[in-house]
Amino acid sequence: MNISKKEYAKLADSYSAPSKLYITIPKAFVSGGIICCIGQFFMDIYTMLGNDTDTASAYTSITLVLISALLTGFGQYERIAKHAGAGTLVPITGFANAVVSPALEFKTEGLVLGTGAKMFVIAGPVIVYGIAAAFVYGLILFVISLFGG
Amino acid sequence: MAKYINDGTIELDRGVSVYSCAAAVGRMESDGPLGNCFDYAAEGAELGLTTWEKAESTFQQYAFDIALRKAKLIKEDISFIFAGDLLNQCTGSAYGLRDTDIPFFGLYGACSTMAESLALASLFADMRIGEFFAAVTSSHFCSAERQFRFPINYGGVRPPTAQWTATGAGCCITSAAEKAPFVKRITVGKITDMGIKDANNMGAAMAGAAYDTINRHLINTKTTPQDYDAIYTGDLGQVGTDLLIELFRRDGVQIENIHKDCGLMLYDREKQDVHAGGSGCGCSASVLCGHILPMIAEGKLHRVLFAATGALMSPTIVQQGESIPGISHLVEISDRQEG
């Protein structure tokens, strides 16, 4: 080979076009914002219907998860996500998509070893490290409280 | 009888013919620039079946059946099959061809399998141990995605360097016969690791292997790129193509005008969302069987190199932080028996 691995890595990097961040970031910002506005719209409706803030926000989350799951099932979510990027990934809709898509994909391997076992294959790490982070946060809070914080 | 030249290059006897070939592809592939040249183009990717794996096996079956029919052969005429695909344990081939009742060699060369199987089927034809031999391979976007990446409906975004696994299959039937195209020489690939660790940049991982094999073939056969009408690589995509050209440029060898990449030929990258280009065994297989071989048979191309490229990785190994070794097998095909 007429090139060292180090030199090749540099060359490969120079030919590997990165994502166009000046396009993807604004698109993610706007689409994520639209999802938040839709969430706020449902929140206002549920509040108008006489629910307190906690109940209304729970209803809102459920509604967004339902819409996201349906869009995933109809094969539309990934079409939106292709353009929206992190805009559809970060909100709760992305979490719903991450659970529903493997559940559907692996249903051919059966309800237990397919859908059941693979459902959290993408979302699992989010839950694991979400709980771990909450534990660490709780520990810090506890230590601070010992010193009368 | 085949003659060993040097460093992996083998020269075949005169008259090893690609007697028949066929390509069966999915919808996206038939919507691409080569759309009209395939023997079978499916309406959808699932072929009305219940699993993607069944669909992939069926594509392989179609390619094999059509190649037989085009040569007016029956399956009992085939002495050995050489086949492989991307699915775990090569099940695409095993299930696709399980009803053939023909002695079967299962191969794994990742996306280089078309060249690997054609090379072996040609060697068997050269040795005259049997009369007809089949080289078959396939890939399917959906079965590959669920094995190597994410579920189809998952909204993750692919980086620009990622490639699109082609849905399709190709089959070549070789025989010792006086019928163009002829397989003239073979250069067997070496496992070449360029140190690339990004599974979304297969082109970069495989370009080194393509360079190594093509370069060895040129040296061992004392030829230059200008001696060929075209040098086809399997599925380097845009990134791998740029790298391959650069690696040759460093040796003072120009291949830009002669080099073509099946991954860039199969799709229209402007209109079809395939990022850096096509990949998968079915990519180079369908371009070879649907486009390149018929062009040679019609005399529009005279002498070409077909170097299919594969990344010899698994998701497990990549997650463990290993780099991705590539391999590229090369078959020299000509419309003439001599030379």
pLDDT tens-digit map of A120-142: 999 999 999 999 999 999 999 99
Name which of B154, B192, B247 is nearest A97 (Cβ-Cβ). Answer: B154
Q: Residue B91 above 90 pLDDT?
A: yes
- Residues B29-58 have a mean pLDDT of 96
Cβ contacts of A81 on chain B, cutoff 8 Å: 155-157
**pLDDT in the model for residue A90:** 84
Q: Residue B42 above 70 pLDDT?
A: yes
Nearest chain A CA: its distance from B241 CA (Å): 10
CA distance B213 to B9: 9
Q: Is A104 on the interface with B (CB under 8 A)?
A: yes
- The residue that leads in pLDDT, B1 or B87, is B87
Size of interface A-B (CB pairs under 8 A): 102
Q: Is A94 on the interface with B (CB under 8 A)?
A: yes
Burial of A59 (0-12, 13-18, 19+ CB in 10 A): middle
- Residues B206-221 have a mean pLDDT of 98
Strands B325-334 and B168-176: unpaired
Cβ contacts of A98 on chain B, cutoff 8 Å: 154
- The residue that leads in pLDDT, B24 or A89, is B24
pTM here is 0.95
Identify the band that residue B71 occupies on the pLDDT scale cut at 50, 70 and 90.
very high
pLDDT tens sequence across B263-291: 999 999 999 999 999 999 999 999 999 99
**pLDDT in the model for residue B335:** 95
**pLDDT in the model for residue B305:** 98
**pLDDT in the model for residue B315:** 95
**pLDDT in the model for residue A149:** 62
Cβ contacts of B208 on chain A, cutoff 8 Å: 1, 8
- Please report the domains of chain B, with CATH numbers, ordered by start residue: 17-176 (3.40.47.40), 182-334 (3.40.47.40)
ipTM of the complex: 0.91
- List residues bridging with B306 in a β-sheet: B232, B331
- The residue that leads in pLDDT, B222 or B45, is B222
Cβ contacts of A108 on chain B, cutoff 8 Å: 50-52
- How many CA within 13 A on the CB side of residue B94? 9
Cβ contacts of B154 on chain A, cutoff 8 Å: 78, 97-98, 101-102, 105, 122
Name which of A16, A78, A85 is nearest B204 (Cβ-Cβ). Answer: A16
CA distance A78 to B123: 46
pLDDT tens sequence across B180-213: 999 999 999 999 999 999 999 999 999 999 999 9
Q: Residue A148 above 80 pLDDT?
A: no
pLDDT tens sequence across B118-129: 999 999 999 999
Q: What integer best gives the mean pLDDT of chain B?
A: 96
- Residues B312-317 have a mean pLDDT of 95
Residue whose token pair is 């390149």: B292
CA distance B138 to B153: 23
Structure tokens at B209: 């292997």
Residue B108 and residue B90 in contact, taking contact as beta carbons nearer than 8 Å: yes
**pLDDT in the model for residue B225:** 97
Q: Residue A2 above 90 pLDDT?
A: no
Give the best residue of A13, A15, A107 to mutate against chain B (max B CB count within 10 A): A15
CA distance A60 to A83: 24
Residue B206's alpha-carbon distances to A94, A134, B134, B187, B199, in angstroms, are 33, 43, 26, 16, 11
Q: Residue A26 above 80 pLDDT?
A: yes
Structure tokens at B206: 């495989």
Nearest chain A residue to B208, by CA: A1
CB-based contact B151 A104, cutoff 8 Å: yes
CA distance B267 to B287: 11
Name which of B156, B195, B247 is nearest A9 (Cβ-Cβ). Answer: B195
Q: Residue A1 above 70 pLDDT?
A: yes
Phi, psi of B55 (to 5 degrees): -60, -45
CB-based contact A122 B251, cutoff 8 Å: no
